[in-house]
């Protein structure tokens, strides 16, 4: 794995300018948002659902084969040495000079936890790397002092889109004379309404919860809870995918703690701050209408959030059918492409599809109709063949999730239309 795999596509402002009246009742709030979305859809016309950067597809190898468990263990054995070379996460560093985001150690935690779950962590090396990353995140969270995970307050560094976006709101805060209010000890702790801090807070908070589940170390649960408490109180962002990072964390925290405050916050954010932007008809039904969130990476990030919440909700929850409908429609939209021209993105598609495989294991009809098993099978063939050619096909979290699936697959799920030559577990 190389450093570029640790840098997901960076947050950016949604092109739609939504004014979210948080003080109004939810019904009025939702009506106002739907009106603005309808206006934006009309303005975009036949460009609704087209991404700001043209999709590029990676063809699925015609004769591709999934990795064997033996190959997966070989890949696991190689990875820690590469990850150790990337290690920059040391408590006490100067965040004002840091050109890395906290999503990077969060991804390493995802790697270590998944290798541990697979029973393939020789000498506990990967879990040790995960704990080191988790301890750093606790330190950074404490330095910020807000409960949320911060972002380095580096000025003038635009080598990465995430840092360019952060520079914009830091510059705006400085112009307004509020820089001291948004920066603390070299960390950006307030995004001035942009919503971008939800990205790293969601990734890091979820990683800490995963680490708690693997280690039972209460420090990681307390860290994840602080992040979820922060996320629950954040106002809705103008960017649909920013809100979805918080939904993913809050849904997972509800599953762990059964605290209904987290479930209520996740439902509100998804019903008002994620689903309204999805196209429900036309040739691009299932995609998000604005050019930024129509990009495949952000699409699957939102699929992940919808899947997490749908699985967390009681089956008789009145909002669940709408959430499952949006999830199914979104999965069909992009999964169909994986089965056609090829994969428009790999990392977040793999994460979302592996999650859906696990979370909906008892619903073979949903897995079939959403094309999720078929798309996962195709994507698995692609990354397996890329690895055989000497590549690092996925980022740490997603690679760990895939290798875990290869080594320790769940019970087979019967479908009426599984691929004839599927290697998928």
CB-based contact 56:344 (threshold 8 Å): yes
Cα–Cα distance measured from residue 227 to residue 188, given in angstroms and rounded to the nearest whole number: 15
Report pLDDT for 25. Answer: 45
Quick one: three-class SS letters along the chain?
CCHHHHCCCCCCCCCCCCCCCCCCCHHHHHHHHHHHHHHHHHHHHHHCCCCCCCCCCECCCCCCCCCCHHHHHHHHHHHHHHHHHCCCCCCCCCHHHCCCCCHHHHHHHHHHHHHHHCCCCHHHHHHHHHHHHHHHHHHHHHHHCCCCCCEECCCCCCCCHHHHHHHHHHHHHHHCCCHHHHEECCEECCCCCCCCHHHHHHHHHHHHHHHHHHHCCHHHHHHHHHHHHHHHHCCCCCCHHHHHHHHHHHHHHHHHHCCHHHHHHHHHHHHHHCHHHECCCCCCCCCECCCCCCCHHHHHHHHHHHHHHHHHCCCCCCCHHHHHHHHHHHHHHHHHHHCCCCECCCHHHHHHHHHHHHHCCCCHHHHHHCCHHHHHHHHHHHHHHHHHCCCCCCCHHHHHHHHHHHHCCCCCCCCCCCCCCCCCC
CB atoms within 10 A of CB 351: 22
Cα–Cα distance measured from residue 113 to residue 186, given in angstroms and rounded to the nearest whole number: 30
Q: With b meaning 16 or more CB within 10 Å and e meaning fewer, what string describes 301-324?
A: bbbbbbbbbbbbbeeeeeebeebb
Report pLDDT for 407. Answer: 97
The tens-digit pLDDT sequence of the chain (425 residues) is: 444 443 333 333 343 434 343 434 457 889 999 999 999 999 999 999 999 999 999 999 999 999 999 999 999 999 999 999 999 999 999 999 999 999 999 999 999 999 999 999 989 999 999 999 999 999 999 999 999 999 999 988 667 888 988 888 898 889 999 999 999 999 999 998 899 999 999 999 999 999 999 999 999 999 999 999 999 999 999 999 999 999 999 999 999 999 999 999 999 999 999 999 999 999 999 999 999 999 999 999 999 999 999 999 999 999 999 999 999 999 999 999 999 999 999 999 999 999 999 999 999 999 999 999 999 999 999 999 999 999 999 999 999 999 999 999 887 654 443 333 455 66
The encoded tokens of residue 220 equal 């990681």
Tell me which residue of 262, 298, 263, 246 sits closest to 277, measured CA to CA: 298
CB atoms within 10 A of CB 4: 8
**Which domains, and CATH codes, for the chain?**
39-407 (1.50.10)
Cα–Cα distance measured from residue 2 to residue 183, given in angstroms and rounded to the nearest whole number: 30
CB-based contact 150:102 (threshold 8 Å): yes
Distances (CA, A) of 276 to 31, 239, 268, 270, 299: 10, 12, 12, 9, 14
Report pLDDT for 161. Answer: 85
Distances (CA, A) of 226 to 1, 212, 250, 262: 30, 14, 11, 12
Q: With b meaning 16 or more CB within 10 Å and e meaning fewer, what string describes 141-174?
A: bebbebbbbbbbbbeeeeeeebbebbbbbbeebe
CB-based contact 190:104 (threshold 8 Å): no
Residue 132's Cβ-side half-sphere holds a number of Cα atoms within 13 Å equal to: 18
Report pLDDT for 421. Answer: 43
Tell me which residue of 256, 237, 255, 216 sits closest to 165, measured CA to CA: 237
Tell me which residue of 193, 164, 298 sits closest to 240, measured CA to CA: 298
Q: Global pTM? A: 0.91
């Amino acid at each position: 794995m190389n450093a570029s795999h640790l840098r997901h596509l960076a947050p950016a402002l949604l092109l739609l300018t939504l004014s979210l009246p948080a003080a109004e009742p939810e019904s009025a709030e939702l009506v106002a948002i739907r009106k603005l979305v309808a206006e934006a859809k009309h303005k975009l016309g036949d460009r609704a659902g087209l991404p700001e950067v043209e999709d590029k597809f990676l063809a699925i190898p015609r004769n591709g084969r999934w990795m064997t468990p033996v190959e997966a263990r070989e890949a696991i054995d190689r990875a820690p040495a590469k990850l150790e070379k990337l290690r920059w996460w040391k408590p006490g560093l100067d965040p004002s000079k840091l050109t890395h985001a906290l999503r990077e150690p969060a991804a390493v935690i995802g790697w270590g936890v998944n290798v541990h779950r697979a029973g393939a962590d020789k000498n506990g090396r990967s879990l040790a790397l995960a704990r080191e990353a988790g301890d750093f995140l606790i330190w950074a969270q404490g330095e910020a002092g807000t409960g949320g995970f911060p972002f380095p307050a580096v000025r003038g560094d635009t080598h990465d889109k995430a840092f360019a976006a952060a520079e914009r709101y830091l510059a705006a805060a400085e112009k307004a004379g509020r820089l001291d209010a948004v920066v603390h000890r070299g960390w950006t702790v307030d995004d001035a309404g942009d919503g971008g801090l939800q990205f790293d807070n969601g990734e890091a908070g979820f990683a800490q919860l995963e680490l708690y589940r693997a280690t039972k170390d209460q420090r990681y649960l307390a860290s994840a809870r602080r992040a979820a408490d922060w996320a629950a109180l954040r106002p809705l962002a103008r960017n649909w995918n920013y809100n979805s990072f918080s939904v993913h964390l809050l849904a997972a925290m509800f599953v762990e703690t059964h605290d209904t405050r987290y479930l209520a916050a996740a439902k509100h954010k998804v019903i008002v701050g994620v689903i309204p932007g999805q196209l429900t008809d036309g040739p691009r039904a299932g995609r998000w209408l604005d050019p930024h969130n129509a990009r495949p990476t952000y699409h699957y990030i939102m699929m992940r959030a919808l899947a997490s919440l749908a699985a967390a909700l009681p089956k008789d929850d009145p909002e669940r059918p709408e959430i499952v409908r949006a999830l199914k429609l979104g999965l069909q939209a992009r999964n169909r492409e994986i089965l056609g021209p090829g994969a428009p993105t790999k990392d977040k598609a793999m994460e979302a599809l592996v999650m859906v495989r696990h979370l909906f294991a008892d619903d073979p009809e949903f897995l079939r109709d959403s094309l999720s098993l078929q798309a996962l099978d195709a994507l698995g063939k692609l990354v397996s063949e890329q690895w055989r050619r000497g590549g690092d096909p996925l980022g740490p979290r997603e690679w760990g999730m895939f290798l875990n699936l290869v080594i320790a697959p769940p019970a087979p799920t019967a479908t009426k239309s599984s691929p004839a030559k599927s290697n998928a577990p």
